[in-house]
Structure 1
Amino acid sequence: MVSIFTTKTQAQQSNIVPDNTLGAESSQVIANFQKLPIEVITGGATRQINLFHSFQEFNISEGRAAYFFSPSGDIQNILARVTGTNPSGIFGRLGTFGNSSPNLFLINPNGIVFGQNASLDVQGSFVGTTANGVQFGNQGIFSATNPQAAPLLTINPSVLLFNQIQANGGIINQSQAPAGKNPIGEDVAGLRVADNKSLLLVGGNINIDRGSIRAYGGNIELAGLAAPGNVELNIAGDNLGLVIPENVERADVSLSNGAEINVRSAGGGNIKIQARNVNLAGQSILRAGIEKGLGTPDSQGGDITINATGQTKLIDSSFIANVVQERAFGKAGDINIKSTSFALSNGAFLNASLFGQGNGGNIVINARDNISLDGTVSSLSGGIINNVAPTAKGNAGNIQITTGTLKATNGAFISSDTLGKGNGGNIQVTTGSLLVTNGAKISSNTDGVGNGGNITINARDNVTFSGFDSRTKIVSEASSFAFTNAIGNGGEIRITAANLLLKDGGQLATDTSKQGNGGNIFLDIGNTITLDGITDYGLPSLVTTTAKNGNGGNIQIATGSVFLTNGGTISSAHLEGKGNSGSISINARDSVIIDGVLEDVTTIIGKRDIHSSLSSSLSGGEGKGGDIEITTGSLAVTNGGNISGNTEGQGNGGNITINARDTVTFDGGENRLLTKITTFASSNSTGNAGNIQINSKELFVKNNALLSAFSSGLGNGGDIEITTGSLAVTNGGNIIVNTLAQGNGGNITINARDAVTFDGGENGLFTSVNTAALTNSTGKGGDIAITTGSLSVTNGASINGGTDGRGNGGNITINARDTITLDGGQNSSPVLVVTNAGSRSTGNGGNIRINAKELFVKNSAFFGAFSSGSGNAGDIEITTDSLFLSNGGQVSTSNLGQGKAGDINIDSGSTTLNNKSFIAAITSSGDGGNINLTANDRLILRGGSGISTTAGTAQSGGDGGNININSRFIVAIPKENSDITGTGGNVEIYSQGIFGIESRPKLTEKSDITASSEQGVAGVININVPDTSSIQNSFTELSPVIDTNSLIANSCISRGTKRQENSFTITGSGALPTNRPGVAVSTYTTGEVRGVGTTSRSWKKGDPIIEPQGMYRLDNGQLLLSRECSD
């Protein structure tokens, strides 16, 4: 008041015209009070705590003031109504003075305009309203549209009555007039009430244009109505508040051109806007919270609340802030927004951060239809912030968003980070669908002393993260990071939705960089998860957890199907320090597809290939690599996609487990791109490579696809275990377990109920199952074990267990319920089932054990146990009902180095070697391996095939291996040159009959049994067989066909008188047998044959038929059918 009364400026008198509705208690206007540009208003109707004034016109001119006088200390409320038809223009100062500090009500249903120089000087609260009247409980109404004498209204106003809405019944505030200093001593401007008081504007549309409204520590409420209704007025001490019925149509509230509403102080201070549409534009501001340097630890900031039945929109760097400022103490209040739709754009933002000491407030947004966050602006992006600043101490508040659709784009953000000492807040989004594009992000990070907050997204339909911000190179993401300076854990990310799409670099990421643990990622997606494509600079669409000096977070996925395409990646990694990599668990009801590689892509680290992948890695430090577990209907890894679990540190690599109800496919496609599932322990690692376990109905590995568990460090290679109905490895597919250093190679175990197929295809591509201890390794090569119904290895495919280091090679064990087929195909591509100790190895080659109902080895295929180093070759053991080798098929062991060739042990029902097929044991300088063959039914050798042992060369010694054959029958064709050869070794044969092959001193062009040696002492041949010369004759080349009558004697056969039953028989060559056959050459000796008289005639019809009684041999060797003569 002092400043007003000393003002020298003279301006046109204000247009304040009392009406006569109060009769003798009408208002009185004292113009130019004390010769100053002030109108003092006295009189009015006093009713205990209330003083009523009524005017036909009420305006305050620019440069002038109007003050209501309070005649009594009992007056709490001064109510001034305008009963005329014109709005009130307040272009100067409006205030109160006198004997109390009352609240001031200005009531004009036609509207109120506060000009640029308008100001308030009231000691209580101020209410400016375009209501028709004010109700006082049950006592009555003070009406501006139906004015009457003031009844006995002795209580506080309770309701603002809007009976009819005038077309011009809005409120405009353009005030920029000086308003003293704020609580921290800064000059401020605009409409201001005393600190801790309330300022309410209630009318139709409310527009704050360049103007400001201030109530430090108090309440500011703006409410707009567009239809009749009753607005409840609550008065509690200095605080006045409004309640608008939900069913009343509302008007709009807007702030523009730098408008500001500010209640920030040492505590308290609420802002509430209730309207249809709420718009903040042109850098307009709502401010609440605790001001710099103010507050105590117990201080509580007030709330900012917007309740809009239509749209709430902030643009042009406008913002709403409810914060605890630097050096301030206390808890910030919340920001609560309820609206049909909500939009931020062009750098606009909400902020409930903590800069001082205390706790940040919460941000709660409920927009029934949609929320749009658009960060497009030249210098900065906008969004929703709830952070703990670097200098702050305390926890950030939470962010809670509920809407039909949430879209964040162009660098917009939802952020709840902690950079100081305190925990980051949680972010919860509940929506129908979420779209985050062009570098927008949702983050809850920590770079201070505290944990990052959690991010929870619940979407009825779709969640999408897509693209990146070309200005900042930031990808669209949801992230929870514990940065380099953090001492705390990263928060979790949890998404529940119908579908999840990460496209063109969209990411979900948690990370810990120092002492804390990374947060987990949980995805519960009803239908599909798709990760597709990369950014322009090579960052893939990604779900990832990363750790340094702490444990990485786990990734847990439950969905219908997962698609990783065009570089899409799911990964967990531990980079350095102590801690474990996170695990990855995928439970996909229908399918998992990992497809594609983008080749030669330009990235921020140079050109590289980007594979669609699922990976877990331990890059350094101490800890364990994370496990990968997939449970699904079917899994397809194709066209360069890969699944990997690696370790380069001191811990073990993670395991990979796949459980598929139907099919698992690894397929390099038409271009035969490397497509793989691998576990790897690098040369820097001391841990073991992880294991791979696959359970499925069918498993396909083809077109340069690879299953691998490899170790090049101190640890062991991982195991590969496959359980399936059928397995097909074709066209360059490979299953490999190797070790390159000190550890042992892992094992490969295949259990296939129906069939296993290894096929190199038409071009005979290298297709294999392979375990090996490679050059310089000291560990043992892994074993291969296959159990199946049938096994087929064809067209250049191989099963290989080898060593080229100090350790032994792995063993191969195959059990087939039905058939095993090794077939080189029409091109006779080498098909191998081999164990091999290489030329640089010092270990022994592995053994091969085969058990099958039928075994076919054909077209240059072979079983082999080889060594070319200093160790021994492995043994081969075959158990089968039927063994059939044809067209160059082989079963062989060999040692071309210093060791011994392995033994070959065959236990079969029948064994057939046809067309240059061989069973062989060969050694260069060591002892030859033995061949032990049991064929319960028969052994057949055809077409230049053979069984052989060979030992020694001209420069090296060595004993040939022995050949032991036990077969009911041994059959060969003499002229086909099929041989049984023990070069320097013994040959022992047990058989009921040997046909078409004979023992000879050396090999001939016929089928031979030999034991000769060009380098040493010949072996011994021992054949244990009864006389079968009669049957042998059937294998002698037949003379031209003769008349069968010549084979039948026309007389009886008479025994010879001389018995010659004793004989001495020598068989074989090279040595005398240790025992002789104990069976006579024939049943009977034969003597003379009595001639038939010349009177004998041919048999004719009617003669008796005398049947032969047996076969008889004449002294010339001829066999005849006849009967014995009776004495």
Structure 2
Amino acid sequence: MDRTEISLQKLVVCSFLVFASTPAQAQITPDNTLGVEASKIIPNVLIKNGIGDRIDGGAIRESNLFHSFGEFNIQDGQRVYFSNPSGVINILTRVTGGVRSDILGTLGVDGNANLFLINPNGILFGKNASLDMRGSFVGTTANGVQFGNQGVFSATNPQAPALLTVNPNALFFNQISQNAAIQNNSIAPAGKDPAGVDVLGLRVPDGKSLLLVGGNVSMDGGWAIANGGHIELGGLTEPGSIGIQTNGDNFSLSFPEGVQRGDVLLNNRAIVRVSGNGGGSVVANARNLEILGNSKLFAGIDFGSGTANTQAGDISVNTRNLIIKDSQLSTNVSGEGNAGNLKIIASDSVELSGEIYDDKKGSLEGILATNPGGILATLGEVGKGKSGNIYLETRRLSVSDGSKIQVATFGEGDAGSLFIRAKEIDVFETDKPNFYSTGIFATVGIDPRTVKLPKGNAGNLTIETGKLTIRNGGEIDVSTQGEGNGGQLSIKASDSIEVTGDSPYNSRISAGVGDRGVENGLGSGIGNGGSITIETPKLSVKDGGLIISSTSGKGNAGTINITTGSLSVTNGGQINSLTGRQGNAGNITIQARDAVTFDGVNSKGFPSALFSLVNTGAVGNGGNINLTAGSLSLTNGGTIGADVRGATDELPGGQGIGGTVDVKVRDALTISGTDSGIFGSVGAGAIGRAGNIKVQAGNLFIKDDGNIISSTFGKGDSGNISITANDSILLDVGGIYSNVQSRDAVGNAGKIDITTGSLSLTNGAEINSFTRGQGDAGDITITAKDAVTLDGFDENNNYSALLSDVLAGGVGNGGNINLTAGSLSITNGGELGVRVRGATDDLPGGQGIGGIVDVKVRDTFTISGRGSGIFGILGTGAVGRAGNIKVQAGNLFIKDGGLIISSTFGNGNSGDISITASDLLLLSASSYIVSNVQSRDAVGNAGKIDITTGSLSLTNGAQINSFTRGQGNAGDITITAKDAVTLDGFDENNNYSAVSSNVLAGGVGNGGNINLTAGSLSILNGGELRVSVNGATDDLPGGQGIGGNVKVNVQDTVKISDEGSGIFAGLGNGAVGRGGNIDITAGSLKIQERGGIIADTLGQGNGGDINIEAKDLVEILSDSDLDSDVLQGAIGNSGDITIKTGRLVVRNSQIGPSTFGEGNAGNFKIIATDSVELSGQIYKREGDNSSEG
């Protein structure tokens, strides 16, 4: 054989062996469309430190090199490189054979050129696929590439390239194949990123572009890496043209409007990454973009990279539907510099759910997640700079199960802002356990895996939507847990907002300082919280949902501003502003055009509430609550409160001033149900002042144990309560209270001011200011244009009442009660009282001065029913003084056991009673006006009683009485009546109608004087005008003291008629002292039908004098008496009797002084200027030697 032939044989064999060892050569098949410029494959050459296949040839058009293949596939382990002739910038490779390209090995460029791979029938990158080039890479299923006006380099209509000398400017899709997809499964080693971390997959050089443009684009576990560069994913499934913009050797795309796009899928831990040393951007244009199965698409600045001026690139998504499940779309700064922005436009929906789990552990129940899912722009815990902004716009947004949309700083620098616009937003958790919170966040946050305190300001969060739903633990939050201020939260919902559910966590809209750190035990923030602004026609917070602004760090909480049509807070929902450490709580402002409702409690016992709190352990002031509404309803435990919370076993009480509650309601404010109401308090162990409560409404209804309360249990005053109701206030089994609540409290109760059209307290309702601790009760001022009613009692016999008290154990003064009304009715046990309460089994009596009752009634004041009335009391064991009572009215009717009483049972005086009734004062049926020293143990004087009226009538046992039973004087009684005074009759217990001032059995003190001035005086049917020192009883010794005097000045006639009727001054059996005098000045005096005027002594002491001056007539008829007597057993002298009159008539009656005891009868003097007519007895008697005449 010829040696040449042998050589040829060897060459053939070698060629065969070569082709047999690289079967893909048959799969990289140049077509014939380029003619003499066809591509050439040079196998087994040394390229970039390894053996590979080189592709030469192609058509060069200035800076563009064109290749054309029938098939283009690279086998696993195969390395294929394009030659890069000098001056070539772009290498464009088309596949015309109608089959997909499978890239299972390495695809590269032996030079700096950019590479375009164009196959309309699809491109598959296998697990071991990799890119090795120094330029950018574009993989596309487009039909061709447009070159301006010069033409198209087409894979479906392959022609030799003409003068395609300009840069490519469009990807041309005109024949869409069913298989026109790009699949990237590559996880091949791809070197290290700028931070030195191993990376995988398809990687272009740092700063370059990687574009995968379908059809559909999917990544099943594959990675795409362009550190600091640019990645675009997307495609078209309808004919159209995608623009290409060139910036050096980088490319970006512009998608047409109105052309259906392909789907983009990242699944099974797929990674798209452009983070690096700055730059780095990602764009996805898709019909549906799905990021699933612990996949990530992210940009940013890597650890150890960047400077203060470094700027990372943006992430932009334009799709119809975006689904991110157990995955993440994010930009992050772990180095130094500013993160890029995320812009997401999803015309239909965005669905975010789940968290990212460790590769080895998987998403098994109970295994902790390593990263939150969702959309994030963050500054990492070691980062310095600024996190990016997020802009998201869609029709429907859903965030659930540990997923979130978040702009945050965990390092040193500010978080970006977050803007969301969606027609519907749903944020929620299911029963799936989550490590991360679910929701929408703009925060300065502590990474739950660390305890490092970040430094920076949170970004602003703006949401514009139609309907927002936050449920089952979902959250929207702007807060700072580091050193920096919280962001501003603005939510506008054109339809409605609903925050609902407390399982597993409270659903919430929140802004705060340090609250998350405290909840997780990780630390506290330093800075001011951001504000919350909400605008919506309908806002619902229910089932434990929260809207909250708080500080539990060092700084002030932000404000909450809500503008709505209607607000419903039910089943334990709450709107709160609080301070939990050092700083002030924020103000809450709610403006509701229509109804606001707070109703019910949740299963954990938390009420539906609007709170401003200085929490336990906090130092700062509470925020103000300003609520304006069409109507307001607080029911079944619904609450509005401004509190300084008390101490616990672990923490001291709060220190600060509680916020003011200011409520303005156009129509009705209704408070109904136990624990429902408006509250302001200083808790036990707290230091500060409770907030004031201001209410303005058309009508106010408080019923079924509802309340308005301002109280102090700690050190500090309770707040004032101011209520204005244009039409009416109705309290029915409800109350309004301002108090010093506990015995340990130190501070004053606030004032209560009420202005209304009419006021009604029924069935045990109360308005009450009291002190149980050390401090004064507050004043109560009520101004009612029309009627005020206090009526009835509840099932526990608590009477409807208007009170200001010093309770047992309290040290302080009672408040004044000032009531001005058109009319006033106190009935069926109703009470109006100022009291210093007596001792109990456990507590000493109160110490202090009772307040003043000042009542002004334009028309009629009625007191009716046993126990009904006005009371000024100093109780048993109490020390101080009972309050005074002042009444002014057109008419005053006291009947059926009604009372006006000022009394002391303790150590101190009872108060004065002053009554002015311009027309008529009527007491009937066992009713009383009393000022007294009530108990034998009491030490003090009874107060005065002053009455001024047109006419006065006491009937059926009614009495005006001042007495002493203890140690002290009875008070004076002064009655001035322009017209008639009548004392008539007795009640069923034979208590006679009377005006009296007495020292009762056991009493030690002087009786008070009675001064009566009237047009006329009638004492009938047992009626009495009496001053006495009463005698002993079976249990008590006689009184000791000087009886008061009776002075009557009547313009016309004094008439005394019927047995037992009369004017009496006496010293009773066993009494010690002196009887009082009786002085009468009148036009005429008529005593008849066994009536009498008697001054006598039955004890030890002299009887009083009787002085009568009647200008016209003294007439004593029908077995009547005018006597001054020392009765048998008495020791003392009877008083003198002096009568001056024009005419004296005595018929069948007796007049004169006498003694039947040990003492002398008094002198008897009659001066009658006209005549004396006698048919009875005029005498002076002294025992057996009495003289008669």
Compare 268-277 and 26-35 and name the one that shifted more.
26-35
Contact between 1:14 and 1:39, CA under 8 Å: does it hold in 2? Answer: no
1:109 aligns with 2:141: no
SS state at 1:742 partner: coil
How far apart, CA to CA, are the structure 2 residues paired with 1:921 and 1:158? 110
Letter in 1 for 2:97: G
Equivalent position to 1:94, from 87, 107, 111: 107
SS state at 1:1026 partner: strand
1:85 aligns with 2:98: yes
Give the C-alpha shift of residue 877 in structure 1.
0.8
Give the C-alpha shift of residue 740 in structure 1.
2.6
Alignment of 1:539-688 (within 5 A): 541-559=574-592, 560-566=594-600, 567-575=607-615, 579-597=619-637, 612-619=639-646, 620-633=653-666, 634-640=668-674, 641-648=676-683, 649-660=686-697, 662-668=698-704, 674-682=705-713, 684-685=714-715, 687-688=716-717
Equivalent position to 1:387, from 408, 427, 430: 408
Q: 1:46 to 1:1074 in 2, by over 3 A?
A: farther
Equivalent position to 1:692, from 721, 742, 745: 721
1:938 aligns with 2:980: yes
1:990 aligns with 2:1009: no
Contact between 2:766 and 2:801, CA under 8 Å: does it hold in 1? Answer: yes
Contact between 1:365 and 1:400, CA under 8 Å: does it hold in 2? Answer: yes
In structure 2, the partner of 1:710 is: 740
Alignment of 1:92-491 (within 5 A): 92-97=105-110, 100-308=111-319, 310-315=320-325, 317-325=326-334, 328-339=335-346, 340-347=348-355, 348-355=373-380, 356-375=382-401, 381-389=402-410, 392-410=411-429, 412-418=438-444, 419=446, 420-470=454-504, 473-483=505-515, 484-491=523-530
1:1027 aligns with 2:1089: no
Contact between 2:710 and 2:720, CA under 8 Å: does it hold in 1? Answer: yes
1:46 aligns with 2:60: yes
How far apart, CA to CA, are the structure 1 residues paired with 2:309 and 2:26? 47
Higher strand share: 2
The CA deviation string for residues 158-207 of structure 1, in whole angstroms up to 9 with x for no partner, is 11111221222121112222222222333322111111110111121111
Letter in 2 for 1:399: L
Give the C-alpha shift of residue 446 in structure 1.
2.2
The CA deviation string for residues 368-404 of structure 1, in whole angstroms up to 9 with x for no partner, is 31111110xxxxx222233322xx2111222222111
How far apart, CA to CA, are the structure 2 residues paired with 1:568 and 1:589? 17
In structure 1, the partner of 2:556 is: 517
In structure 2, the partner of 1:966 is: 1013
Contact between 1:666 and 1:700, CA under 8 Å: does it hold in 2? Answer: yes
1:889 aligns with 2:889: no
Letter in 2 for 1:754: D
Alignment of 1:867-1016 (within 5 A): 867-880=904-917, 881-896=919-934, 897-924=938-965, 925-944=967-986, 945-953=992-1000, 955-974=1002-1021, 976-981=1022-1027, 983=1029, 984-994=1043-1053, 996-997=1055-1056, 1005-1014=1059-1068, 1015=1071, 1016=1073
Alignment of 1:8-87 (within 5 A): 10-33=22-45, 38-72=52-86, 74-87=87-100
How far apart, CA to CA, are the structure 1 residues paired with 2:1019 and 2:292? 102
Letter in 2 for 1:387: A
The CA deviation string for residues 252-292 of structure 1, in whole angstroms up to 9 with x for no partner, is 11111121111111111111100111001111111211112
Letter in 2 for 1:968: G
The CA deviation string for residues 631-666 of structure 1, in whole angstroms up to 9 with x for no partner, is 112211111102111124332211000011x11111
Give the C-alpha shift of residue 882 in structure 1.
0.4
Contact between 1:519 and 1:545, CA under 8 Å: does it hold in 2? Answer: no
SS state at 2:818 partner: strand
How far apart, CA to CA, are the structure 2 residues paired with 1:844 and 1:8? 120
Contact between 2:312 and 2:338, CA under 8 Å: does it hold in 1? Answer: yes
How far apart, CA to CA, are the structure 1 residues paired with 2:142 and 2:285? 15
Contact between 1:482 and 1:518, CA under 8 Å: does it hold in 2? Answer: no
How far apart, CA to CA, are the structure 1 residues paired with 2:294 and 2:836? 74
How far apart, CA to CA, are the structure 1 residues paired with 2:376 and 2:143? 37
How far apart, CA to CA, are the structure 1 residues paired with 2:862 and 2:980? 20
Contact between 2:390 and 2:407, CA under 8 Å: does it hold in 1? Answer: no
How far apart, CA to CA, are the structure 1 residues paired with 2:1114 and 2:379? 117
How far apart, CA to CA, are the structure 1 residues paired with 2:20 and 2:1019? 138
RMSD: 2.9
Give the C-alpha shift of residue 865 in structure 1.
0.8
1:731 aligns with 2:763: yes
How far apart, CA to CA, are the structure 1 residues paired with 2:723 and 2:824? 18
Letter in 1 for 2:677: N
SS state at 1:1079 partner: strand
Q: 1:1115 to 1:295 in 2, by over 3 A?
A: closer
Letter in 1 for 2:724: N
Give the C-alpha shift of residue 959 in structure 1.
1.6
Q: 1:40 to 1:1069 in 2, by over 3 A?
A: same
The CA deviation string for residues 662-699 of structure 1, in whole angstroms up to 9 with x for no partner, is 1111111xxxxx322111122x31x2111001000211
SS state at 1:445 partner: strand
How far apart, CA to CA, are the structure 2 residues paired with 1:960 and 1:313? 94
Compare 629-638 and 618-627 and name the one that shifted more.
618-627
Contact between 2:269 and 2:295, CA under 8 Å: does it hold in 1? Answer: yes
Give the gaps of 5 or more residues in structure 1: 1-5, 376-380, 535-539, 598-610, 669-673, 999-1003, 1037-1060, 1083-1112, 1118-1127
Give the gaps of 5 or more residues in structure 2: 1-17, 356-372, 430-436, 447-453, 516-522, 601-606, 647-652, 838-845, 987-991, 1030-1042, 1092-1111, 1126-1133, 1146-1170, 1176-1189
In structure 2, the partner of 1:1054 is: none
In structure 2, the partner of 1:758 is: 790
In structure 2, the partner of 1:823 is: 864
Contact between 2:1059 and 2:1089, CA under 8 Å: does it hold in 1? Answer: no
Give the C-alpha shift of residue 741 in structure 1.
3.2
Give the C-alpha shift of residue 443 in structure 1.
2.1
How far apart, CA to CA, are the structure 2 residues paired with 1:9 and 1:507? 70
Contact between 1:481 and 1:518, CA under 8 Å: does it hold in 2? Answer: yes
How far apart, CA to CA, are the structure 2 residues paired with 1:1115 and 1:1027? 15
Contact between 1:638 and 1:675, CA under 8 Å: does it hold in 2? Answer: yes
Give the C-alpha shift of residue 590 in structure 1.
1.2
Q: 1:297 to 1:242 in 2, by over 3 A?
A: same
How far apart, CA to CA, are the structure 2 residues paired with 1:478 and 1:65? 56
Q: 1:141 to 1:1075 in 2, by over 3 A?
A: farther
In structure 2, the partner of 1:508 is: 547
SS state at 2:36 partner: helix
Give the C-alpha shift of residue 866 in structure 1.
0.7
Q: 1:1033 to 1:942 in 2, by over 3 A?
A: closer
Letter in 2 for 1:71: P
Q: Percent identity?
A: 37
Give the C-alpha shift of residue 139 in structure 1.
2.4
How far apart, CA to CA, are the structure 1 residues paired with 2:794 and 2:618? 51
Give the C-alpha shift of residue 1026 in structure 1.
2.5
Q: 1:9 to 1:186 in 2, by over 3 A?
A: farther
In structure 2, the partner of 1:1101 is: none
The CA deviation string for residues 526-547 of structure 1, in whole angstroms up to 9 with x for no partner, is x22222114xxxxx54434233
In structure 1, the partner of 2:778 is: 746
Give the C-alpha shift of residue 63 in structure 1.
2.7
Give the C-alpha shift of residue 982 in structure 1.
5.1
Letter in 2 for 1:946: S
